[in-house]
């Protein structure tokens, strides 16, 4: 086996033969200090995927992952039906409340809050902004994670 470090993966026949004796080959990026820096997440719906029941389970796991993450600061943008996560009648409201405790800030879109009649509870970390203002933010943010 060649012990020289590789800068990139080699999927040629010779490259694959080199790894033929291995039973498991994992390819993951190495985590750096920057991975714990500020993160921005855009949530567009109160479920993930086309099926709302399964999608709520998936979004629930995603919110748990965000709550347990080691990132230093987290800003969450809620637009369209994502604003429904702030309503206490939503099945994921408690998870969103827990996320708002961890997040530096939750920015919710005003037009959708009005359109869907979302009852936003008093929370100093929740800021209500127009879609125009959110769009201006999103244009400038580096590496925003969008959940659709």
Q: How confident is the model at residue 142 (pLDDT cuts 50, 70, 90)?
A: confident
The secondary structure of the chain in percent helix, strand, coil, rounded to multiples of 5, reads: 40, 15, 45
Structural domain span for residue 70 = 33-147
In a domain, 16, yes or no: no
- The overall average pLDDT reported for the chain is 81
Reported as a single tens digit per residue, the pLDDT across 39-86 is 899 999 988 866 778 888 999 999 999 999 888 889 999 999 999 999
In a domain, 7, yes or no: no
Give the number of domains in the chain.
Answer: 1
pLDDT for 25: 47
pLDDT for 47: 85
In a domain, 62, yes or no: yes
The model carries a pTM of 0.74
Q: Are 125 and 106 in contact (CB under 8 A)?
A: yes
Q: Is the pLDDT of residue 29 over 50?
A: no
CATH code assigned at 142: 3.40.1260.10
pLDDT for 60: 93
DSSP 64: H
Query: Element (H or E) spanning 78, and its range?
Result: strand 74-78
Collapsing DSSP to helix, strand or coil, 13 comes out as helix
In a domain, 87, yes or no: yes
In a domain, 11, yes or no: no
In a domain, 28, yes or no: no
**Mean pLDDT, range 28-38, rounded to an integer:** 55
In a domain, 4, yes or no: no
DSSP 85: G
Who wins on pLDDT, 66 or 30?
A: 66
In a domain, 6, yes or no: no
Q: H/E/C letters for each residue in 16-60? A: HHHCCCCCCCCCCCCCCHHHHCCEEEEECCCCCCCCHHHHHHHHH
pLDDT for 41: 94
For 54-88, b/e burial (b = at least 16 CB within 10 A) is eebbebbebbeebbeeebeebbbbbbbbbbbbbbe
């Amino acid at each position: 086996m060649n012990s020289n470090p590789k800068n990139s993966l080699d999927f040629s026949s010779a490259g694959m033969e080199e790894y033929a004796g291995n039973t498991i080959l994992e390819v993951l990026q190495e985590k750096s200090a920057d991975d714990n820096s500020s993160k921005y997440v855009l949530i567009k719906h109160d479920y993930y995927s086309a099926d709302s029941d399964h999608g709520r389970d998936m979004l629930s796991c995603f919110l748990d992952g965000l709550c347990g993450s080691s990132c230093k600061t987290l800003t969450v943008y809620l637009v369209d039906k994502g604003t429904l996560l702030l309503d206490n009648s939503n099945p994921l409201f408690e998870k969103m409340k827990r996320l708002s405790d961890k997040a530096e800030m939750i920015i919710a879109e005003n037009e959708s809050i009005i359109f869907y009649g979302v009852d936003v509870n008093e929370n100093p970390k929740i800021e209500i902004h127009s879609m125009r203002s959110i769009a201006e933010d999103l244009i400038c943010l580096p590496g925003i994670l969008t959940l659709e």
